[in-house]
């Protein structure tokens, strides 16, 4: 892609669509923007595409993506990345968008950590925004972080043959327990209430050899060995009885504290750390700015990758109409669009 193909008399390099966030939803939005012939750029603060899938659990299996009975997060991201780059969008990583401002001519200025970017429309696919893991407040935890205590567990092989303790009852905790059970020496899961994970995964967990300590169980302390690494974990049951077991690794998966960061100051209507959008168009309160994926809020919303993909298509189609009112809202099936592009390319040659 020619970087300055959209330069105007003021010297601004203006893109048709700018996508904030390079997770699965953002990457799919980039692909569909390319299908619609939009000059597109993707901006993400992380150093790799994939969002949380890459940053938190690249080797965890995903089970609810259409067309895949199950797929490793890193493999799914690799396919999303390849698909997104088909029409050569400008992908800018390690760049944070700090400001969003609309000019008198309707062009949107995005002030980033690397300077100003310009666009006719913007689609925000920022997921939950910046995220920090919730931490367990128990003696020894802070001192052993990085020495057997994990808040981000990426590689399955790091746990092969190890005695693993997992704390939590959501999707991440249960998925890790099921994933590591075949490779670890032992897996113990500690949780204080009911499981919040998908029912099918919870059923698989109950069929596994994972030592389940729930409900009413809580971590009370962790203990270091002579080498300064994690050696044991203590926990109590609902009656207050304390048990200590040997452990080499402990994964704390009790959730994350999300923060939209600068996005909160851009003038959107917010609801529980999400941007309120029109469910039909995915439009925000700012004309020309849309949102898709986990960052978008509307009634009866389901936070799934599949949902984000559908929202990405909707946002792209309405973004195209925003900057080109004469364009068709529905350009037809992807096969039809690709055939037209290929014929146009052949004719140009």
Q: What is the CATH number of domain 14-131+257-348?
A: 3.50.50.60
Place domain 135-254 in its CATH homologous superfamily: FAD/NAD(P)-binding domain (3.50.50.60)
Q: What pLDDT does 343 receive?
A: 65
Max Cα separation, the chain? Answer: 78
Q: What pLDDT does 296 receive?
A: 97
Q: What pLDDT does 155 receive?
A: 87
Exposed / middle / buried, residue 42 (Cβ in 10 Å: 0-12, 13-18, 19+): buried
**Single pTM value for the model:** 0.78
Q: What pLDDT does 2 receive?
A: 41
Q: What pLDDT does 50 receive?
A: 94
135-254 shares the fold of 14-131+257-348: yes
Structure tokens at 55: 């940053």
Model pLDDT for residues 110-164, shown as the tens digit of each residue: 999 999 999 999 999 998 777 778 889 899 999 999 999 998 888 899 999 999 9
Exposed / middle / buried, residue 31 (Cβ in 10 Å: 0-12, 13-18, 19+): buried
Domain boundaries, the chain: 14-131+257-348, 135-254
What phi and psi values does residue 65 have, to the nearest 5 degrees? -105, 130
Which of 259, 251, 296 is CA-nearest to residue 276?
296
Q: What pLDDT does 273 receive?
A: 87
Distant-in-sequence, close-in-space partners of 82: CB < 8 Å, separation ≥ 6: none
Sites in the chain below the pLDDT cut of 50: 1-3
Q: What pLDDT does 152 receive?
A: 81
């Amino acid at each position: 892609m020619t970087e300055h193909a959209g330069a105007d008399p003021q010297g601004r390099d203006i893109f048709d669509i700018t996508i904030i966030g390079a997770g699965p939803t953002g990457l799919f939005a980039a692909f569909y923007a390319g299908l619609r012939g939009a000059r597109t750029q993707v901006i993400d603060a992380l150093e790799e595409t994939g969002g949380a899938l890459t940053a938190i659990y690249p080797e965890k299996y995903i089970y609810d993506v259409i067309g895949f009975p199950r797929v490793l997060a890193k493999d799914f991201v690799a396919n999303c990345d390849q698909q997104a780059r088909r029409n050569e969008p400008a992908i800018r990583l390690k760049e944070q968008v700090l400001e969003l401002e609309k000019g008198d001519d309707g062009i949107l200025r995005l002030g980033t950590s690397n300077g100003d970017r310009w666009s006719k429309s913007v689609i925000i696919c920022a997921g939950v925004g910046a995220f920090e893991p919730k931490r367990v407040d128990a003696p020894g935890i802070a001192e052993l972080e990085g020495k057997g205590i994990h808040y981000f567990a990426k590689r399955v092989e790091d746990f092969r043959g190890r005695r693993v303790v997992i704390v939590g009852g959501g999707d991440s905790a249960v998925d890790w327990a099921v994933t590591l059970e075949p490779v670890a020496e032992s897996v113990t899961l500690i949780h204080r209430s009911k499981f919040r994970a998908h029912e099918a995964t919870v059923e698989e967990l109950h069929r596994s050899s994972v030592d389940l300590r729930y409900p009413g169980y809580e971590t009370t302390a962790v203990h270091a060995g002579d080498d300064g690494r994690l050696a044991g974990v203590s926990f109590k049951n609902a009656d207050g009885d304390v048990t200590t077991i040997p452990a080499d690794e402990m994964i704390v998966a009790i959730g994350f504290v999300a923060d939209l960061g600068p996005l909160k100051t851009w003038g959107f209507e917010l609801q529980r750390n999400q941007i309120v959008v029109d469910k039909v168009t995915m439009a925000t309160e700012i004309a020309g700015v849309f949102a898709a994926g986990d960052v978008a809020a509307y009634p009866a919303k389901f936070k799934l990758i599949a949902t984000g993909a559908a929202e990405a298509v909707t946002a792209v189609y309405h973004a195209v109409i925003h900057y080109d009112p004469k364009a068709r809202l529905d350009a037809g099936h992807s096969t039809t669009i690709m055939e037209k592009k290929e014929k146009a390319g052949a004719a140009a040659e």
